[in-house]
Amino acid sequence: MKTDHTPPLFLTDARIAILGLGLMGGSLAMALKSHCRSCYAYDPDPDMIALALGRKIVDHASENPVEILADVDIVILAAPVLAIIDWIERIPDLMSKSAIIMDLGSTKEQICRALETLPPRFDPIGGHPMAGKEKSGLEHAEDSLYRGATFALSPLPRTSSRARALALEIVQAVGAIEFWIDPVLHDRYVAATSHMPYLISSALTLAATGDATALSGPGFLSSTRLAASSPSLMIEILSTNQANILGSIARFRTQLDLLEDLLRENNTDDLKAMLNSSAAHINSLHG
């Protein structure tokens, strides 16, 4: 952890800039606006700027990032993964003063590696709220999106105690639950718990061909809901966590092959034992 002799920065005194007014950035602005000194936002879409200002989601918004970044204490990157990495490369040329830099990206290893390259005047910390919807855009944002969600925080070796404390205060202000984790381990975990469910949902949707969907009930709809997620956003997530996801696919295939073998052999005893084990595991997760 970087030794920090600057005074602490409390959320009530913080001027926050959110780069990206989609579902995640918009929801964060809604949840934070009443807790911070001021909340600014950048978005390239003038309609999103108008919507954010019209609904008083932020204090000020602009299509010009230099204007938004001129005098803020913390910059929160709320964009797709590759766009976040691009922002990290651009920020040193867009703002001259020091600031805490935090992101909301769905994968952490590549983003944190990019954060490490920032000049010393920046104080970076990685973040990933385990929240969202299959629908994107500011029109679907809500101030309760993060409430009760796990919020991963991935500090770098250079991250100061000041940045850690402010990031934690942000997480708590939006009603989320902090989870401190190494970025490499984070990506390994979310491959299984976030990225695989999307791929399985997509595969299940494609496997239900013909007229089968005429008899789709709540089970099918809940199991395939994630397939409606934005493919362009998901491709960026998948491509920045490829090795971990391939490992998760291999482990999933092993379990699916075992289920297939037990069913083919009509081995109902072992099949029931396997299903009981699965049910017990998921019930323990839900308390």
**3 state SS for the chain:** CECCCCCCCCHHHCEEEEECCCHHHHHHHHHHCCCCCEEEEECCCHHHHHHHHHCCCCCEEECCHHHHHCCCCEEEECCCHHHHHHHHHHHHHHCCCCEEEEECCCCCHHHHHHHCCCCCCEEEEEEEECCCCCCCCHHHCCCCCCCCCEEEEEECCCCEHHHHHHHHHHHHHCCCEEEECCHHHHHHHHHHHHHHHHHHHHHHHHHCCHHHHHHCCHHHHHHHHHHHCCHHHHHHHHHCCHHHHHHHHHHHHHHHHHHHHHHHCCCHHHHHHHHHHHHHHHHHHCC
Q: Are 78 and 70 in contact (CB under 8 A)?
A: no
Give the Å distances, CA to CA, from 284 to 89, 197, 213, 222, 280: 43, 19, 31, 20, 6
Structure tokens at 237: 């997530």
Give the Å distances, CA to CA, from 123 to 88, 115, 166: 12, 9, 11
The model's confidence at residue 132, banded by pLDDT at 50, 70 and 90, is confident
pLDDT tens digit sequence for 28-77: 999 999 999 999 999 999 999 999 999 999 999 999 999 999 999 999 99
In what side-by-side order are the strands of the sheet with 38-42?
Answer: 60-62, 38-42, 15-19, 74-77, 99-103, 122-129, 150-155, 177-180
Q: Which domains does the chain have, with CATH numbers?
A: 11-181 (3.40.50.720), 186-285 (1.10.3660.10)
Q: What is the distance between the alpha carbons of residues 116 and 157, in angstroms, rounded to a whole number?
A: 9
Give the range among 153-162, 164-173, 186-195, 226-235 with minimum mean pLDDT: 226-235
Average pLDDT rounded to a whole number, residues 206-218: 86
Q: How confident is the prediction for the chain on average, in pLDDT?
A: 95
Is 4 exposed, middle or buried (CB count within 10 Å of its CB: 0-12, 13-18, 19+)?
middle
β pairing state of 15-19 and 38-42: parallel
Q: Are 102 and 167 in contact (CB under 8 A)?
A: yes
The model's confidence at residue 206, banded by pLDDT at 50, 70 and 90, is very high
pLDDT value for 213: 80
The model's pTM: 0.93
> Is the per-residue pLDDT at 212 higher than 90?
no
